[in-house]
Amino acid sequence: MELNELREQIDAVDRELVDLFLRRMNLSAEVAEYKREHDLPVLDPSRERALLDKISELSGEEFEAYTRTLYASILDLSRSYQYQKLEKRSALYQEITDALENTPKLFPERALVACQGVEGAYSQIATEKLFRAPNILFFSNWEKVFDAIEAGMCRYGVLPIENSTAGSVKQVYDLMIDRNFRIVRTVRIKIDHNLLTKEGVKLSEIREIYSHEQAINQCSAFLSSLAPNVKITRVENTAKAAQMVAESPRRDVASLSSRSCATQYGLSILASSVQNNGNNHTRFICITNNTEIYPGADRTSLMVVTPHKPGALYRILSRFNALGINLLKLESRPIPDRDFEFMFYFDLEASVYSDKLARLLSELEQECDEFSYLGSYSEVI
């Protein structure tokens, strides 16, 4: 048989499949109405397991895996359609709706903001890019930034969440989940590490360099060129490192810090841009403990825990595809005290005003073992 004839037969079968699929979806709508009248949940796990087992038996050994995959997708689409027909609105949906109505139309120019570090820290640079005239309070660690907001000392906090070379700052993600905070805006800052010293110090004189662990890792090639004569000392952040150099009685110490730190602490730039990768950016999040959604929000961050079974993550990803929602980031993280179980962080690209996003959030909230909404926001570049 010729290829064109085979394709004509496939086209005929496809027409039949589409007709059957539409019939099945219409029946799903009737099922949804029955569930509405009898107050039944959309998801019926025992029914789905029984159906997939029956499909496997009907398919035979050769096609069993293919048909189970096909029908798992069909069942996902069926449930999604039922949720749409039922127009289920969760507490989260109401929270987002209220935030859209009550959040001011303009992002504040002035605010009291908590940051980790000291004057000159990259968090300060990020804050000053987010707010025109911020009043910044500095704290020694990230957890104290959250404490300050919870105590009412500050309205916002600015924290690093991801670096283009070092990856995500997982501790900040964990604090977001534990404290139930929301992201209201993000900003990307170019990271430019420089070797700062006191005036007139030569490279050959340096015996110790202070910096944050990530900066040390990002400048590993430069630092290896100084080994083994230079001791590397890790401190809480790059601005603190510059402050330590400025306050030290020694002339043989230096720091890996920003250019603004050189100005802030009266230091000289002995070597500029010493990071391994010139395209080095850190993404900072602006957080608060209230749900605020400002106009133009086109990104949403989520955390989900899926059922511990094969295909669970795929079924979530298939929803993004079905709704045409772009996935910007996916990252897994082991769940403490649970062997081989993971939580997944998602960054989605979708307008907060989109019905598709509302449908996705409602479905995920009802079908995932655990679900956390981290906020909807726009990013400053």
Question: Could you tell me the CATH number of the domain that includes residue 207?
Answer: 3.40.190.10
Q: Name the domain boundary from 210, 238, 271.
A: 271
pLDDT of amino acid 88: 65
pTM: 0.83
The structure tokens listed for 200 are: 């007139």
Residue at a domain's end among 86, 120, 146: 86
Give the pLDDT of residue 177: 84
What is the average pLDDT across 1-19? 93
Among 73, 119, 85, 116, which Cα is nearest to 247's?
119
* Same-domain status, 186 and 95: yes
Per-residue pLDDT, 190: 92
27-36, 308-317, 337-346, 361-370, range with greatest mean pLDDT: 27-36
Query: Would you say residue 23 has pLDDT above 80?
Result: yes
Please tell me which residue, 164 or 25, carries the higher pLDDT value. 25
CATH number where 14 lies: 1.20.59.10
Same domain, 105 and 125: yes
Report whether pLDDT(225) > 90: yes
Residue 276 lies in a domain: no
Distance, in Å, from the CA atom of 200 to the CA atom of 258, rounded to the nearest integer, reads: 19
Q: How many angstroms separate the CA atoms of 323 and 326, rounded?
A: 9
Q: What Cα–Cα distance (Å) separates residue 253 from each residue in 197, 213, 235, 243? A: 7, 17, 13, 11
Is residue 79 located within the same domain as residue 97?
A: no
pLDDT tens sequence across 330-381: 998 877 777 767 889 999 999 999 888 888 888 888 778 888 999 999 999 8
172 and 244 both lie in a single domain: no
Residues 6+ apart with CB under 8 A from 107: 130, 184, 185, 294
Q: What is the pLDDT of residues 162-221, one digit of tens each?
A: 988 878 888 898 898 889 899 999 999 999 999 999 999 999 999 999 999 989 999 999
Question: Mean per-residue pLDDT for 220-243?
Answer: 93
Q: Do 235 and 351 fall within a single domain?
A: no
**Domain match, 186 and 200 both:** no
Work out the pLDDT band at 319, boundaries 50, 70, 90. Answer: confident
pLDDT value of position 381: 81
Query: For residue 254, what pLDDT band results from cuts at 50, 70 and 90?
Result: very high
In terms of domains, do 330 and 228 share one?
A: no
Sign of CA dihedral 315, 30, 325, 160: negative
**Across 239-261, average pLDDT:** 96
* Shared domain check, 310 and 178: yes
Q: Are 218 and 276 in contact (CB under 8 A)?
A: yes
Q: How confident is the model at residue 89 (pLDDT cuts 50, 70, 90)?
A: low
Report whether 107 contacts 185 (CB < 8 A).
Answer: yes
Among candidates 81, 100, 82, 84, which has minimal Cα distance to 92? 100
| Cα 276–Cα 281–Cα 284 angle in degrees, nearest 5 | 140
Q: What is the mean pLDDT of residues 268-276?
A: 95
User: Could you tell me which of 190, 172, 168 has the C-alpha nearest to residue 114?
Assistant: 172
Number of structural domains, the chain?
3
Structural domain includes residue 125: yes
Task: Check whether residue 301 and residue 338 sit in a common domain.
Answer: yes
Phi-psi region of 328 (alpha: psi -120 to 50; beta: other; left: phi over 0): alpha
Percent of the chain at pLDDT exceeding 90: 64
Dist CA 59 CA 62 (whole Å): 8
Residue 79 has pLDDT above 80, yes or no: yes
On whether residue 247 sits in a domain, the answer given is: yes
75 and 98 together in one domain: no
Tell whether the model's pLDDT for residue 315 goes beyond 80.
no
Q: Are 289 and 281 in contact (CB under 8 A)?
A: no
Q: Based on the domain organization, do 176 and 314 belong to the same domain?
A: yes
**Measured between alpha carbons, how far apart are the two ends of the chain, in Å?**
58
The range of the structural domain enclosing residue 173 comes to: 91-190+281-380
User: What's the order of all strands across the beta sheet hosting 299-305?
Assistant: 326-334, 342-349, 299-305, 370-377
* Average pLDDT over every residue of 250-254: 96
Q: Which of 271, 293, 310 is the last residue of a domain?
A: 271
What's the pLDDT tens digit per position in 43-62?
888 898 899 999 999 998 89
Q: Which residues contact 376 (CB under 8 A, 6 or more apart)?
A: 96, 293, 297, 299, 300, 352
Residue 22 lies in a domain: yes
Same-domain pairing of 184 and 310:
yes
